[in-house]
Structure 1
Amino acid sequence: MLRMRASEIAAAVGGALHGADVEVTGSVETDSRLVTPGGVFFAMPGEATDGHRFIDAAIEAGAALVVAERAVEQDVPHVLVPEGVTALGALAAEVIRRVRAGGELTVIGVTGSNGKTTTKNMLQAILEQHGPTVTPVKSFNNEVGAPMTMLRIDEATRYLVLEMGASVEGDIARLTAVSHPEIGVVLKVGLAHAGEFGGIETTARAKTEMVRDLPEHGIAVLNRDDERVRAMAAATAARVVWFGTEPGPADDPTHLWADAVDSTLEGTVAAVHRGERSWPLRLRILGEHHVLNALAALAVADALGIELEAAIAALGTMERAERGRMELLEPGGGITVINDAYNASPDSAAAALRALAHMTRQAGRRSIAVLGEMAELGPHAVEEHDRLGRQAVRLRIDRLVVVGPGAKAIHDAAELESSFGQETTYVATAEEAEALLRGELTAGDVVLFKSSNVSGLQVLAERIGGL
């Protein structure tokens, strides 16, 4: 973060300073275990615990300043605020304002029901070749995580890439009001978090907040393949740049599109086109669905004036999308593990199954899908898990292992869809799944793990994968 005095921070967050007007030279943290000397500790109540309980630990770690919601008894400079989350956002807004005023900062926001983290990582791979770039750790994309990312910038930062997630309408609008992105990317509108939103149309309205709030001099980067994203062009005053898997209108020379897409266990290839020019794209990342994410990142690079050839070369250096996202593991014995269990939605799970089916069929290897619950689907949960089970059968996945009560509809549907039940097994826990797999896996098997993080399959995938 920028060097700031405690009084400046108090003014930015609308709080009252108690104690010395110290200079802050370290980072801003909400976890006392991450505090470094000279930093700021935000003591905030959370779902599991209360940050005020850890002020002593933050002081011991070297915190120069504490921001808190109630009186601090310890002898440390502190700022009292009515609400820590609001104060965190206000401080992030002030830091962005100062860096913009004194430098060449460009803020890029990325939203969508799927693909945000992969696209963010692709943008990092491209942009860090052209200037200091700050991106979220993991998938920090909410009212706490996004400001924490914003607060990592300093005077030298050239690009700030933000994931913008939402649980309800208004979440993305609040994040854009803090960061004011010049470029907004919308990847897809799907059923991720549908249980919280109440339906896909509400999801579409929430994602529209990204482009609705862009300035006139901004750029909206939109997926032409998704009809709900296409409709967002009417909601923005910014210039629209498109990407997709079909040629755009002849009078749109900026439209980026791809064809000749193929994916193997060695990676994914495609041909990228813009106007009359074409470039080969070679990704180490598994899965044809990642081509759209690559196109989104390339469209941003193109809009920023970065040569596409250089941007495509940067994408080719990425070894994986993210830990737990179509991550290839080779534990030995001729077995291949694909760990895609960091998160799951109906769209991403279907794409992962298609990738598994395609890659194993090409390689002549046995396909095994270990599937857990897709969380936060609300009233759509049974229907979408049922749909996934039927799809696994129609894709001719050789072996299906379904884990946990929340995912049992996958197994039930697969059993009904297939003419016999030997291809699918239901187990209640990840431990039972591990025992089953260790007894069955043989050389040549390719095992996909796909679920939301709450299922614990990411840890199982890493154990089976030898990490």
Structure 2
Amino acid sequence: MIALTIADLAAAVSGDVHLAAPDTPDTVVSGAVDTDSRLIGRGDVFVAKPGETTDGHVFVGAAVEAGAALAIVEHVVDVEVSQIVVADAVAALADLAREVVRRVRADGDLRVVGITGSNGKTTTKNLLARILEGEGETVSPRASFNNEVGAPLTMLRVTEGTRFLVSEFGASAPGEIARLAGLVDPDVGIVLMVGMAHAGGFGGIEATFAAKSELVRAVRPGGLAVLNADDARVAAMAPIADERGVGVRWFGRGADAEVRADDVAVTADGTTCTVVVDGEAHPLRLRVLGEHHVMNALAAIAAATALGVSAADCIARLETVEIAERWRMQPLGSDSIRIINDAYNASPDSMSAALRTLAQITEPSQRTVAVLGAMSELGEYAEEEHDRVGLLAVRLGIQRIVVVGADARRMFLEAVAQGSWDGEAVWFATPDEAYEYLVGELRAGDRVLVKSSNSAGLRFLGDRLGESFS
């Protein structure tokens, strides 16, 4: 965080100061800000956030022992440290992020990019950050820090020398993207796609469209919306941009996109294509597995070139990226038995893309194995969408379908109903049971996809399989 006095901090969060010796209102604090006492270091600011299972106020003492210089709390804690008392710690975190970004923007050359979409946010964030890091200090989220806590914590990492802030905006309900993006008024807003992820929380696909379009509405006038020309719902956000005085830059596979991909070829080593940027062609070898990640790369290129990065530099930097993120199409195991661990997030769209990638990268002499768990946050659409995944796995000719968990059982039942199965599809209640089956079932030449939402816990099953067959 930039250097601020305790008085400045209190003003930013509308809090009351309770000083501990030897501090005064003019004492300067410049450490990192966090809500996790285990991550606090000397000079940092600890935000005591109440949680569902515990209360951050319990850990103020631990934060001070770790070196915290200041605590933002909802009530005074009997610990010898200066404290700023606020009505709502999470709201205070957002207010502080807004003020820090405002100050850096006013005094420097900070450009802010916001990213949203039903799928692909984290991959696109990582690809764009890799490009922009070559231009100057770039701040981007750790993992998927994209909610009401993670997004402000990312924003608070900017310094006076930061040139680019890349913010990822997730949401499970209407209004959340508007609140988060409103903290920074992005110069560039990227909308990747409107799909069924979190449809249960939003109340359907049209409500999801309205929620994702909140980012376009938050882009500052004179800024730019980077929109997916291949997604009709995303394309329908262009009039919103026009109303706001915001330009539009299109990416996609179609000929009309300003940044597009031609001649896409998918292999087990990655994806090759020709990227055309404003009429100029560039070959790209993307090592991140999966054809669907080409669209994420196009979005990153569209945003970066709008910010002044040459297309050639974008391509060169993207080719250094080996994986999107841990547990996202992450290759594990060995050349003999390859495990693809993609079990951090799952939606109908990403599940379909991952299964298609599995089919594309498997040679005729090899066997496809899909280890599938539940997709969360689909609400009333859950049964129908799980059925569709089971059907798709059959139609793609996946040779072994291993379904794990009660919430995913419909995938197994649909696979059995749609094919002439003789043990090709199996179901297990727990990841441990699935692991015991798989270590005896997998053989040389198998290509294994592990795919589920985070809550299903299959990412750890993928890790275990990767270690067993490394």
TM-score (normalizing by structure 1)? 0.97
- Corresponding residue to 2:54 among 49, 52, 56: 49
> Match for residue 255 of structure 2?
247
> Match for residue 133 of structure 2?
128
> Match for residue 252 of structure 1?
none
Residue 208 of structure 1 deviates from its aligned partner by: 0.3
Secondary structure of 1:178's match? coil
- 1:325 and 1:216 mapped to 2: Cα distance? 35
1:277 and 2:285 are equivalent in the alignment:
no
Question: Residues 176-255 of structure 1 correspond to what in structure 2 (within 5 A)?
Answer: 176-236=181-241, 237=244, 238-248=246-256, 255=258
Deviations 1:71-121 (A, max 9, x none): 222121000000011100000011001111111000000000000000000
For the 8 Å contact 2:369–2:401, the answer to whether it is kept is yes
For the 8 Å contact 1:67–1:84, the answer to whether it is kept is yes
- The amino acid that maps onto 2:77 is V
Task: Identify unmatched segments of 5+ residues in structure 1.
Answer: 250-254
1:432 and 2:433 are equivalent in the alignment:
yes
For the 8 Å contact 2:277–2:311, the answer to whether it is kept is no
For the 8 Å contact 1:106–1:182, the answer to whether it is kept is yes
Residue 275 of structure 1 deviates from its aligned partner by: 4.1
Comparing 35-44 with 15-24, greater Cα deviation is found at: 15-24
- 2:140 and 2:314 mapped to 1: Cα distance? 17
- 2:359 and 2:18 mapped to 1: Cα distance? 62
> Match for residue 412 of structure 1?
413
1:167 and 2:172 are equivalent in the alignment:
yes
1:263 and 2:271 are equivalent in the alignment:
no
> Match for residue 394 of structure 2?
393
- The amino acid that maps onto 2:289 is L
Secondary structure of 2:250's match? strand
- 1:39 and 1:278 mapped to 2: Cα distance? 47
> Match for residue 463 of structure 1?
464
For the 8 Å contact 1:164–1:172, the answer to whether it is kept is yes
Question: Residues 344-359 of structure 1 correspond to what in structure 2 (within 5 A)?
Answer: 344-359=346-361
Question: Residues 276-315 of structure 1 correspond to what in structure 2 (within 5 A)?
Answer: 276-315=279-318
Comparing 336-345 with 209-218, greater Cα deviation is found at: 209-218
1:320 and 2:323 are equivalent in the alignment:
yes
Residue 331 of structure 1 deviates from its aligned partner by: 4.2
Residue 365 of structure 1 deviates from its aligned partner by: 1.2
- 1:364 and 1:28 mapped to 2: Cα distance? 53
- 2:271 and 2:376 mapped to 1: Cα distance? 28
Residue 40 of structure 1 deviates from its aligned partner by: 0.5
- 1:231 and 1:276 mapped to 2: Cα distance? 24
For the 8 Å contact 1:243–1:299, the answer to whether it is kept is yes
Structure 1's consecutive aligned runs of 4 or more residues displaced over 4 angstroms after TM superposition are none
- 1:239 and 1:313 mapped to 2: Cα distance? 27
Residue 215 of structure 1 deviates from its aligned partner by: 1.9
For the 8 Å contact 2:333–2:465, the answer to whether it is kept is no
- 1:115 and 1:175 mapped to 2: Cα distance? 18
- The amino acid that maps onto 1:223 is N
- 2:327 and 2:215 mapped to 1: Cα distance? 27
- 1:93 and 1:276 mapped to 2: Cα distance? 38
Number of residues of Structure 1 aligned to a counterpart in Structure 2: 460
Deviations 1:351-389 (A, max 9, x none): 00000011114x631000000000111011010000000
- 1:91 and 1:364 mapped to 2: Cα distance? 57
For the 8 Å contact 1:331–1:464, the answer to whether it is kept is no
- 1:58 and 1:216 mapped to 2: Cα distance? 41
Residue 143 of structure 1 deviates from its aligned partner by: 0.7
Deviations 1:218-265 (A, max 9, x none): 00000000000000001122000000001107xxxxx11112111111
- 1:44 and 1:337 mapped to 2: Cα distance? 38
Secondary structure of 2:261's match? strand
> Match for residue 83 of structure 2?
78
> Match for residue 12 of structure 1?
12
Residue 47 of structure 1 deviates from its aligned partner by: 1.5
Secondary structure of 1:425's match? strand
- The amino acid that maps onto 1:151 is L
- 2:366 and 2:166 mapped to 1: Cα distance? 39
Task: Identify unmatched segments of 5+ residues in structure 2.
Answer: none
Deviations 1:13-40 (A, max 9, x none): 0001111333213100100011111110
For the 8 Å contact 1:288–1:355, the answer to whether it is kept is yes
Residue 274 of structure 1 deviates from its aligned partner by: 3.1
For the 8 Å contact 1:110–1:163, the answer to whether it is kept is yes
Q: CA RMSD in A?
A: 1.1
1:150 and 2:152 are equivalent in the alignment:
no
- 1:274 and 1:370 mapped to 2: Cα distance? 38
Residue 63 of structure 1 deviates from its aligned partner by: 0.6
- 2:171 and 2:210 mapped to 1: Cα distance? 11
Residue 70 of structure 1 deviates from its aligned partner by: 1.2
- 2:72 and 2:280 mapped to 1: Cα distance? 53
Secondary structure of 2:122's match? helix
- The amino acid that maps onto 1:300 is A
- 1:214 and 1:454 mapped to 2: Cα distance? 32
- The amino acid that maps onto 2:439 is R
Deviations 1:162-216 (A, max 9, x none): 0001111110110111111100000000010111111111010000000012122
1:24 and 2:29 are equivalent in the alignment:
yes
- 1:37 and 1:139 mapped to 2: Cα distance? 25
- The amino acid that maps onto 2:227 is L
For the 8 Å contact 2:48–2:72, the answer to whether it is kept is yes
TM-score (normalizing by structure 2)? 0.96
Residue 311 of structure 1 deviates from its aligned partner by: 0.3
